[in-house]
Structure 1
Amino acid sequence: MAKTILITGASSGLGAEMARQFAAKGYNLALCARRVERLEELKRDIQASNPSVKVTLKALDVTDSDAVFRVFAAFKEEFEHLDRVIVNAGMGKGGSLGTGLFQYNKATIETNLVAALAQCEAALEIFRAQQSGHLVTISSMSALRGMPRAMTAYAASKAGLVNLTEGIRADLLRAKSPIKVSCIMPGFIRSELNEKVKNTPFMVDTVPGVQAMVRAIEKEKPQAYVPSWPWTIMGFLMKRLPLKVVMKLG
């Protein structure tokens, strides 16, 4: 029987490409996002290439916590079993603190961390009842250090997500649970979130970047820097370099 993956924020960028690549591997898909028309277009594209794959869509604004629990439960009822949930929905609006952009910085942290908490809670309720499942959170290499300007709130939210994910893993390990937990930390992968960013070192295109993400997810690694080259080395350096050097990456 084909396994089922639930992906949030699946209407564009890394989420949409993950859906395409997992479908090509034979996974059934539970896809949700705010923009249902984009999801419908993605579903047509996926099923044209993979007609045997079941794709179900639902509208979801992840900042609506009640809706997160409701939509996840509806997917579970429809598929009977969810094998993997990928907490992918996110945003990156914002700017230097104290410059009048509080509403955007707040929205970024609420979407990337508070809404992620709701998604993790909803997924784990299902997994605990099933006594199986794989929770995946999509963080960022920027989580490793503080970042300047528009990256400040974003990096803080992704650092929170790394620690949230590790705390969940620790709790499940303590309980000797069979549930798996992974945190994926992409480097610079081209997507709609960063399409206006120019001249960024080590930027890779969406397809090969997501291929690296999918490989790491399928290995169920507790934590993975992707693509591994150069980000495994960069991760080691980012934790140790002076802030004035690290901030040039932001």
Structure 2
Amino acid sequence: MNRVVLITGASSGLGEGMAREFAARGNNLALCARRTENLEALKSELESRHSDISVSVRALDVNDHDAVFQVFNAFRDEFGQLDRVVVNAGIGKGQPLGTGRFEANRQTAETDFVAALAQFEAAMAIFREQNHGHLVGISSISAVRGMPANMTVYGATKAGLASMAEGLRVELRKAGSPIKVTTLLPGYILTAINEDLKNAPFRVDRDTGCRALVEAIEKEKRVACVPPWPWTPIAFLLRRLPEAVLARMF
């Protein structure tokens, strides 16, 4: 029986790339995003390439928190269960604090953390009822330390997501639950969010990055930097460098 993988923000970027990888591995897909025309095109492509899978798509703005619960439950009812939920939808509008761009920072915080909380809640309600499932939170390498300027709020939201996932993972371990929780910390993977960055070190193309993301998910890692090289040693160093050194790096 094919596993059912739900991915938010699946109409572009990492969500779209992961959908292709999961489809190639024989998974049924529940895909949601705001841009339904992109989702419909992706559904047609994947089902034509992989006749052994089913793909369902639904419109979802993750900032409509009631809709998050409704869409997740509708997918569960349609497929009979959800085996894996990938909390991926996000934006990167962060701006330096105190520069008159509060609205951009508020939108980033609400989409990348509060909406992620809604997705965690909706997924876990289903998983607790099923007594199985795998919750995956897409965080960021920027979560490992406080980052300056445009990365400050974005990194803070991703750190919050990672902390939320870790707390949940500890709770489930203590309870002996079969539910799994994975936190992924991607480095620079080429998507629309970072395509304008002039200094994006070690950036890989989307296909390479999404293949590494799905490999880490399939292994049900607790926490993984993606791609592992060079981001695992970079994360190790970032956690330990003095702030004075960080200030010279960024």
The residue number in structure 2 matching 1:34 is 34
Query: Residues of 2 paired with 1:3 and 1:247: CA distance?
Result: 45
Which residue number in structure 2 is paired with residue 202 of structure 1? 202
Q: Alignment length, in residue pairs?
A: 250
How far residue 201 of structure 1 moved from its aligned partner, in angstroms, is 1.2
- What secondary structure, in the 3-state scheme, does the structure 2 residue paired with 1:29 have? strand
Measured in 2, the distance between the counterparts of 1:247 and 1:22 equals 39
Q: Which residue of structure 1 aligns with residue 114 of structure 2?
A: 114
2:171 aligned partner: 171
Query: Does the 8 Å CA contact 1:147/1:247 hold for their aligned counterparts?
Result: no
> Who is 2:235 aligned against?
235
Once the two structures are TM-superposed, the CA of residue 47 in structure 1 deviates from its matched residue by 1.6
TM-score of the two chains, using structure 2 as the length reference: 0.97
1:223 matched to which residue of 2? 223
Hey, what's the Cα distance between the residues in 1 that align with 2:249 and 2:236? 14
Q: Is the 8 A contact 1:145 1:246 kept in 2?
A: no
- Report if the CA contact (8 A) 1:141-1:185 is conserved: yes
1:12-161 equivalence runs, <5 A: 12-161=12-161
Query: Identity percentage over the alignment?
Result: 58
Maintained 8 Å contact 1:168/1:181: yes
Aligned residue type for 2:153:
A
CA contact (8 A) 1:68 1:122 kept: yes
The answer as to whether partners of 1:96 and 1:150 remain within 8 angstroms in 2 is yes
Change (3 A) 1:218 1:249: farther
Structure 1 position 7, deviation (Å) = 0.2
Superposed CA offset, 1:135-185 (max 9, x none): 000000000111112111100000000000001111111111110000011
**CA 1:113 to 1:17, structure 2 compared with 1: closer, same or farther past 3 Å?**
same
The Cα offsets for residues 49-71 of structure 1, whole Å up to 9 and x where unpaired, read as: 11221000000000111000000
TM-score of the superposed pair, with normalisation by structure 1 = 0.97
Distance in 2 of aligned mates of 1:101 and 1:244: 26
Shift of 1:249: 6.0
| In structure 1, distance between residues paired with 2:21 and 2:94 | 31
* 1:10 alignment partner in structure 2: 10
Q: What is the rounded CA distance, in whole Å, between the counterparts of 1:12 and 1:196 in structure 2?
A: 16
1:11-38 CA distance string (max 9 Å, x none): 0000000000100000000000011011
Question: In structure 2, the residue corresponding to 1:58 is in which secondary structure?
Answer: strand
- Unmatched 5+ stretches in structure 1: none
Question: What is the deviation of 1:245?
Answer: 3.3
Distance 2:108 2:245 in 1: 25
Counterpart of 1:99, as a letter, is: T
Deviations 1:223-242 (A, max 9, x none): 00010000110011000112
Q: 1:115 to 1:247 in 2, by over 3 A?
A: farther
Aligned AA (1:115): A
**Is the Cα–Cα contact under 8 Å of residues 146 and 247 in structure 1 kept in the other structure?**
no
Matched residue type, 1:184 = L
Query: Shift of residue 48 of structure 1?
Result: 2.1
Residue 248 of structure 1 deviates from its aligned partner by: 6.0
How well do the aligned residues superpose, as a CA RMSD in angstroms?
Answer: 1.1
How far the C-alpha of 1:243 sits from its partner, in A, is 2.5
Where do 5+ consecutive residues of structure 2 fail to align?
none
How far apart are the structure 2 equivalents of 1:248 and 1:76?
49
